[in-house]
């Protein structure tokens, strides 16, 4: 890991100390002499973003030795990020993680589970256009994420003690956000949970929807298991293929993306496949394909059968939160019934 410290407060005492972790992604790119986008040297960050000097912050930047395209992010990288935060937790007031947008919601969701009893901001941000572009969102996203990470209340406590995504004037809960745009700056949104803050001339925090400070000590989970599958239900899907996926497998859990409020075919063969997988102690978690709304198993006959055979309702969890929550729970040495129980309750604001 490369490590650079910049004290924008010198010679005055700094107002906050922030660790910036650069994993890769568009935000940390600029054009080199050959006109090719490449990671820029963070030692020159004040030259590129002179506004940093107005913060009176001590900023420490560390970067992965080899910056990652976010499409290559794996659970091992989430565990590494959690470990970095654990090792530096007492030293810093907040953390900003620069990350590619494609899997940012997965990473933010994963960190929300791994960082248990979090009392400091962990703000993910990135960009659709790099700092090297004349017109870009990288500069404002980075500056605002830093400001949020360093903001405290009158008692000196973090205003946002949770894992978040900041993008294009809005701060979202990390395990509620999804990438919704690839061509516009408003890349992230959350249909089922309101924004935590909106940025204009001032930053307006919605304090009533932000997690409270934890009462227990901060700790970091050390393991995740990726034996999780994802199946999207669609008309005409091959039941033979579904059977192979669910029964001829070493998977321990499967997220089912069903229609509407949790509905799926009532075909007997389809239900038998699901039932057999549950009998093999494979956990089935039902979430909606819809961007908004939630699963309500039993509201219609087409979801009542799922509840009867033991499929668990994921309520209004996102795909990203569902997958990473299962990976987290499978890594905690819990029994089958304990995992089933924890899937039905909110651990860190991921479900209503």
Q: What is the pTM of this model?
A: 0.94
Surface-to-core class of residue 125, CB atoms within 10 Å of its CB (0-12 exposed, 13-18 middle, 19+ buried): buried
Query: 228-343: which CATH number, 3.60.90.10, 1.10.645.10, 2.170.150.20, 3.40.50.40?
Result: 3.40.50.40
The pLDDT profile of the chain, 352 residues, written as one tens digit per residue, is 778 777 765 556 778 999 999 998 888 777 777 777 777 676 667 777 777 777 788 999 998 888 888 999 999 999 999 999 999 999 999 999 999 999 999 999 999 999 999 999 999 999 998 877 778 898 899 999 999 999 999 999 999 999 999 999 999 999 999 999 999 999 999 999 999 999 999 999 999 999 999 999 999 999 999 999 999 999 999 999 999 988 877 899 999 999 999 999 999 999 999 999 999 999 999 999 999 999 998 787 778 999 999 999 999 999 999 999 999 999 999 999 999 999 999 999 999 9
pLDDT attached to residue 27? 80
The verdict on domain 2-220 having CATH code 3.40.50.1170 is yes
Distance CA 106, CA 64 (A): 18
- The whole-number pLDDT of residue 12 equals 67
- Distances in whole angstroms, Cα of residue 102 to Cα of each of 114, 154, 176, 224, 335: 20, 36, 15, 21, 33
Name the helix (H) or strand (E) containing 29.
strand 29-31
What is the rounded distance in angstroms from the CA atom of residue 242 to the CA atom of residue 231? 8
Residues marked as catalytic: 26
Indicate the domain borders of the chain.
2-220, 228-343
DSSP 76-139: HHHHHHHHHHHHHTTT-SEEEEE--STTHHHHHHHHHHHEET--S-EEEE--SS-TTSSS-SHH
Q: Which of 300, 296, 273, 293 is nearest to 284 (CA)?
A: 273
Distance CA 118, CA 105 (A): 18
Instruction: Return the CA Rg of the chain.
Output: 21
């Amino acid at each position: 890991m490369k490590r650079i410290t910049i004290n924008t407060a010198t010679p005055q005492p700094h107002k906050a100390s922030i660790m910036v972790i650069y994993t890769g992604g568009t935000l940390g790119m600029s054009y080199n002499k050959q006109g090719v986008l490449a990671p820029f040297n963070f030692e020159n960050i004040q030259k590129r973003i002179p506004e940093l000097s107005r913060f009176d912050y001590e900023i420490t930047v560390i970067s992965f030795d080899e910056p990652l395209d976010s499409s290559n992010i794996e659970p091992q990288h989430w565990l590494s990020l959690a470990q970095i935060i654990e090792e530096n937790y007492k030293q810093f007031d907040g953390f900003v993680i620069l990350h590619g947008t494609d899997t940012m919601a997965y990473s933010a969701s994963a960190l929300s589970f791994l960082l248990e009893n979090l009392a400091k901001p962990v703000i993910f941000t990135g960009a659709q256009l790099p700092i090297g572009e004349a017109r870009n969102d990288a500069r404002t996203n980075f500056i605002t994420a830093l400001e949020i990470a360093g903001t405290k209340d009158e008692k000196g406590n973090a205003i946002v003690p949770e894992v978040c995504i900041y993008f294009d004037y809005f701060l979202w809960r990390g395990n509620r956000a999804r990438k919704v745009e690839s061509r516009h700056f408003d890349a992230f949104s959350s249909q089922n949970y309101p924004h935590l803050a909106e940025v204009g001339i001032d930053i307006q925090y919605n304090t009533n929807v932000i997690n409270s400070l934890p009462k227990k000590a901060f700790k970091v989970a050390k393991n995740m298991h990726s034996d999780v599958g994802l199946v999207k239900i669609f008309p005409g899907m091959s039941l033979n293929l579904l059977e192979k996926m669910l029964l001829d497998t070493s998977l321990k859990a499967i997220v089912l993306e069903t229609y509407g409020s949790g509905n799926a075919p009532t075909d007997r063969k389809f239900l038998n496949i699901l039932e057999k997988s549950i009998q093999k102690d494979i956990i089935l978690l039902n979430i909606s394909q819809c961007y908004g709304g939630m699963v309500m198993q039993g509201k219609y006959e087409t979801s009542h059968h799922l509840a009867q055979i033991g499929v668990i309702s994921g309520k209004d969890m996102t795909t990203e939160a569902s997958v990473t929550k299962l990976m987290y729970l499978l890594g905690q040495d819990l029994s089958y019934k304990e995992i089933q129980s924890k899937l039905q309750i909110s651990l860190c604001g991921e479900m209503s």
